[in-house]
Amino acid sequence: MSEASAPRHPLAVLLAVQDIDTAIAQHEHRKATLLERRELAEASERAGEIRRRSVALERRAEELSSALAHLEEQSAAVVARRKALEDRLYGARGAAGRDLAAIESEILQLRNRLGQLEDEEIVLLEEQEPLDASRDASASQLALLAERSAELGARVAEADAAIDGELARLRAARDEEAARLPDALARRYEDLRARLGGTGAARLIGDRCDGCHLTLPSAEVDRIRHLPEDAIATCDQCGRILVRASLAGDA
């Protein structure tokens, strides 16, 4: 049997599985933390804030419109009443002085009331002008955000497609390598990986565990190096399966 076709040591296969798992985790993290995805979320949040503000602006605009309409109705009623009294006054010059004085007094009161209504209308109109400007500004901001969100959404979809393609390739390779592992070693690896942040196996590089990056005591390193090939060594610092350089199968 040639060296190229010789079966690999189970621990070399385990490291291959771990390397693929690490690559998968890196791609998943990259997908979740895409800058464009974060910007898209921020744009969506900003649009939500503007929409909520727009609702309040619309509500206030409706209140102002209703108030102005009510003032106009009152003003129209006052003008009509004053006109009727003025017509009555001009047509009743021969009436008793007391009656004429009463009519003139009411006309004066109506003029004063009309002035008050006009003042109230001015106040509402002064509030309405900046309110309309704010509504227009909100609409413009939402339009810009919608355009930016569409652009970001397209870029996120493109990046997701590329990452998903690479993930599919990695997962297929992972399945192929994992199928070569002895069941007991695979179960032990999966348990460690679940408990240790996705890394269940690591290389022993010199006297350092490449999983926790801590240095092992020299006596422990010497003991591991003299273990039989079929023995499973673990890091006494983090508990990960340690693979010696002689068994790693690295090129």
Residue 97 clears pLDDT 90, i.e. is over it = no
Q: Note the helical H segments in 179-251.
A: 183-195, 218-225, 245-248
Residue 1 clears pLDDT 90, i.e. is over it = no
Residue 96 clears pLDDT 80, i.e. is over it = no
72 compared with 2, residue with greater pLDDT: 72
3 compared with 120, residue with greater pLDDT: 120
* 16 C-beta neighbours (distance < 10 Å), count: 22
Strand partners, 215: 208
Q: Whole-prediction pTM value?
A: 0.71
pLDDT at 48: 96
Q: Report the DSSP pairing between strands 208-209 and 233-234.
A: unpaired
Q: Which domains does the chain have, with CATH numbers?
A: 33-178 (1.10.287.1700), 182-248 (no CATH)
Q: List the Cα angle 50/54/59 in 5-degree steps.
A: 155
**Three-state DSSP class for 211?**
coil
pLDDT at 7: 80
